[in-house]
Structure 1
């Protein structure tokens, strides 16, 4: 702004030698394109239209960039200082629109800009900064929430897999334990059944033994069934020999009927006792017989005496057992099956 009143000179303005400083000569300022080039830095000034008001906005942004927020705050606390120019200088100032690079800021073109044409102020810069920070913060929070959700999902899946594996292992252990218990139970059952069967068999044999008796006493087994030798006409021994002193009583092993009693060649004196089931028991080499044909005898009843008649080498009882079909069987096995101990 031009003023006709010259600025007052300082009363203390002197040169170094104490003389008053001569009046300073003013030179005409001709701005060039380089001198008016916009300042480029952190505060970017957008191209605006709309006259002198917007060029002052540019100047304000440049001042903010130069002195900083602290300088602005300090300047606000000081009283304003009026600046005036002599009329000779103000009259010689060129038109602002004719200055290179400045006329574009002071254009009277009222055409609406397609971009943001509002004045760039510290408030708008702060608002844009906060909006950008909020957008970045919102995006960061969304990303963080998504990562946490994925981590929780993975954790849940891992826990579910671990739980399923633990349940499977527990089920396998339970199945193995159940199978083990079942096996033990089956073994115990089989053992109990075997013990019960053995007990029942023992009871049966004990009851059966009451109806069966050994053919003699005070004996020694000298020959068994099936032994080979030239002493026997068949080439092998067909009975069981009870060696005992001559005259030792010979008893009926079971109740039955006397089928034959007399001399029988190499068998000497022989008694054949037929049991109720058709089995025949032969008593051979007796020294004497005390029963007759057709006579019924009971278990343990004396039917003769041990002797050495027939083809023998010494006194003994030769005992043979024949099935109802006539086949000879091992007398020792047959007697044991009846519960007797030979």
Structure 2
């Protein structure tokens, strides 16, 4: 009976070959092929090794994807294949193949009827194990990729959080520096304001002290002037004295002291006092009457100009008018008279000498 061996190959559909006795008769003539026993054995060995290597290297995937092809062999060919299988070495002794076969005893078994089970039987077990291993590898690779992506995401989130925290720290440092600068500026401005107020207060105090000192000095000067006496004019010539007789005076004698000087020569107050009167007075011309604190009156007559008016307070040496020739005169001069508080006229020269002045 012929035996069939399922084998996966490149054919697109299964075919059945049924040789007859006539088709197996050797062809006589030039197409006859001589029997080569030794070559057949060697070729069979190489064929077996190639089949096993193809199965181990990747034939499993091809066997799973392609449909099986049924092959029917005559008894003579089956016997020949059985003899070939017996002459082949064990697959476990082949280099690079023994490890593939010896590792799975459950999937390898022998078919005594066909004589080819050593090679073919190992194919389904390996083919069924390969997808499972591939699936496990894919699952493991997916989990590894997922874990790696999550790890990278966690690292990126950590980096982002650190960046945010660092930015917050830097901003806090900037805010603190700005606040410190603001406080320093305010403190400097306050200190400058205090210093400015201090300088202004010192300046006001100095100005006040200076003003007080000047006022005191002026008061002392005025007090000294008030206690002092001055000649009524300067650059003069005495032309007439008190009591001098002559027909030029209505009383028959001179009642004062004449200081001849050019018109316009300044006339000064001999002492501090108050102007009692200032105006034109007949033969005296323009006359100023200065009343001292003790009631003594000093008369300034024949003036060309008067610089004060009644009620004016004057000090010693102050200019009150100018020499002139108004009234009953023969030339420009100052006629000076001194009258006591009772109204009596006295010698002006003697009165001035009594005040420490010489004429």
TM over 0.5: no
Q: Which protein is bigger by CA-based radius of gyration?
A: 2
TM-score of Structure 1 vs Structure 2, range by shorter chain = 0.3 to 0.5
**TM-score of the aligned structures, taking structure 2 as reference length:** 0.37
**TM-score of the aligned structures, taking structure 1 as reference length:** 0.39
Structure with the larger helix share: 2
